[in-house]
Amino acid sequence: MAESAEGEVILSPYRSEDELPELIALMEMDLSEPYTVFTYRYFIRNWPHLCILARCNGKLVGAVIARESPVARTVDNIGYIAMLAVDKSQRRKGIGQRLVERVIEVMLLRCHAVELEAEHVNLGAIRLYERLGFVRTHRMCRYYLNGSDAFKLKKIFRPLKLTEDEDEPAEPEPVVDAAAAVEPSPVSA
């Protein structure tokens, strides 16, 4: 990791399993949902480039964990921000915004949009996402284990790119009258 000035926050991708205990501890302090170590490993092993860590003086002070998934009949993926946490002592310093901007920057290469859920009472997070261009698409009742509702938020980067065979409409099939298509058979008297 690069040397940093005292108090400077450095963003870097997740690098190794050695960082996992510290990452889990940060997320557990901040998120309302309990996740198992297997959930974290699912994300960081499949999409390590979408797990961004924020460190200040060597201490983990923030992280974002995300994934991307293919969209059927397109060449694009859709991004999904699964978890975002910033240490309470480091909030209101722009760390969360920097983490989301960085993961979006990575997603722009292969994704047409990004989605996430936010607890409906987490107004700070909702304001952050809306400042970054996310819009609320719908409310999901009792989404979280604690019974709380969630908002689904989405940010579209560009229109979907269809696969080559989907770019142009297919030539319509000729309409055939089934009755006329049957060869008359000779009738013997």
Contacts 24+ apart (CB under 8 A), 181-186: none
| Burial class of residue 100 in the structure, from the number of CB atoms within 10 Å of its CB (0-12 exposed, 13-18 middle, 19+ buried) | buried
Domain 9-161: which CATH class? alpha beta
Query: Mean pLDDT per 10-residue run, the chain (189 residues)?
Result: 68 94 94 89 95 96 97 91 95 95 96 96 95 97 94 95 63 46 47
Q: Where are the domains of the chain?
A: 9-161
CB atoms within 10 A of CB 96: 23
- Contact between residue 154 and residue 126 where contact means Cβ atoms under 8 Å apart: no
pLDDT score at 180: 44
pLDDT score at 155: 98
- Please give the DSSP secondary-structure letter assigned to residue 100: H
What is the Cα–Cα distance from 22 to 144, expressed in whole angstroms? 24
Whether this model's pTM surpasses 0.75: yes
- Planar angle of CA 103, 75, 98, nearest 5 degrees: 10
- Contact between residue 149 and residue 168 where contact means Cβ atoms under 8 Å apart: no
pLDDT score at 74: 85
Residue in the structure block whose two tokens are 């059927």: 72
pLDDT score at 45: 95
